[in-house]
Amino acid sequence: MILATDIDFDRDGKQVSAVRVPMQRDGGADGALLVPIAVIRNGDGPTLLITAGNHGDEYEGQVAAAAFVRSLDPAAIRGRVIIAPALNLAAATAGRRTSPIDGGNLNRSFPGDALGGPTAKIAAFVDAQLLPRADLVIDLHSGGTVFDYVCCLFASEHPDADVRRRTRQAIDAFGAPWCLTKPFRDDETTMLGSAARRGVPYLSTELRGMGTVGAEALKLAESGIHGLLSALGILPKKSNVTPAAPRWLRFRDGSLFPVAPEDGVFESRCALGQEVEAGDLCGLVHVVERPDRAPIEIRFRDSGVVVGLRHIARVAAGDDLAHVAQAGPEVAA
């Protein structure tokens, strides 16, 4: 069975439907995941692809993307907007990072496999059917249930000058306070990797997290997507105000994030957005099963800015406790 949708990507108006992702259900009956998708179009013009729910426990983007499905009026735009607000549907409805059907992490499954399991099929549909139609992609992520993250963008240092230029224009239009750059890799298995291989400018976000939907995250998602729509010419500009330039960061190659050395309870001793030095205290891991043992001190291995911080206190050995980024290069305009 193949993926199918009754969406006509070239038809004007607003269409809200689903992509049918074949799967087997218990009991032997064939069935399908109905992954929601919307297309809002008015004549020829550029296309913005908005995706969310790539990881199912990242809720802010799902809410923001669905709001644009309702609010965008075809008569008010020029061009096309494609919105998939719960891309990894099984994970989204279960409130899990990965699919409960096949255990698939969608954002580690690209370019996908049209003959594979449900997660691989969704990735293949995005890679083959959605990315080639897009002039720009915004993939809405957050820290999910486990992490809290600064509101930021991620962007690729693409080798093609025109892709870099259009990516930089999108970064400037979105208006996030931070932007983390990632080197281009041919073997990247994320949506970023598929977009980069196809030469499509791509941005992803981190919009806080902690398993919540906060006002700060929704406000930035709304204003940022409006900025992208205006920059592409899909919507007219609301004002001549230019967003402030982001602070540019990058994860150091081989960065050693602080991790839990044993199972226990994590007590943070740092804050999101804090500048830290190598050797500074990140937090304590309490081995509560052994109350006679002193807490284990966890110290930073790298200097930089704390961009992500674990929110759930209970940890297993090897769990990331914080993410630190260093000053990085701008995406060239």
How far is residue 34's CA from residue 11's CA, in Å, rounded to a whole number? Answer: 21
Helices vs. strands in the chain: H and E counts, helices first:
6, 18
Q: Which of 331, 306, 303, 333 is nearest to 320 (CA)?
A: 306
At 294 the pLDDT is: 98
pLDDT digits (tens, 9 = 90+) for 103-158: 999 999 999 999 999 999 999 999 999 999 999 999 999 999 999 999 999 999 99
CA dist 164 and 161 (Å) reads 5
Q: What is the mean pLDDT of residues 275-299?
A: 97
Phi-psi label, residue 247: left if phi above 0, alpha if psi -120 to 50, beta otherwise: beta
Using an 8 Å Cβ cutoff, are 7 and 84 in contact?
no
- How far apart are the C-alpha atoms of 322 and 312, rounded to whole Å? 12
Distance, CA of 54 to CA of 139 (rounded, Å):
8
What is residue 29's predicted lDDT score, i.e. its pLDDT?
67
Q: What is the dihedral of CA 186, 188, 190, 193, to 10 degrees?
A: -20
Closest CA to 258 of 236, 235, 276: 276
Task: Share the mean pLDDT of the chain.
Answer: 95
Among 257, 227, 223, 243, smallest CA distance to 325 is for: 257
Does residue 59 surpass a pLDDT of 60?
Answer: yes
**CA 146 to centroid of chain Cα atoms:** 15
For residue 187, count CB atoms less than 10 angstroms from its CB and return exposed for 0-12, middle for 13-18, buried for 19 or more.
exposed
Whether residue 246 contacts residue 297, with contact meaning beta carbons closer than 8 Å, is answered with no
Q: Where are the alpha helices (DSSP H) in 176-317?
A: 191-197, 215-232
Q: How many CB atoms lie within 10 A of CB 304?
A: 22
* CA dist., res. 17 & res. 27, Å (int): 27
Higher pLDDT, 34 or 185: 34
The confidence score (pLDDT) of residue 27 equals 62
Q: 264 has which bridge partners?
A: 315
- pLDDT band of residue 24 (cuts 50, 70, 90) is confident
Whether the upstream peptide bond of residue 111 has omega within 30° of 0, thus cis, is: yes
Question: Over the stretch 212-230, which tens digit does the pLDDT of each residue have?
Answer: 999 999 999 999 999 999 9
What is the per-residue pLDDT for 239?
A: 73
Q: What domains are defined for the chain?
A: 4-249 (3.40.630.10), 264-327 (2.40.50.100)
Whole-number Cα distances in Å, 63 to 59, 133, 137, 245: 6, 24, 17, 26
pLDDT digits (tens, 9 = 90+) for 163-178: 999 999 999 999 999 9
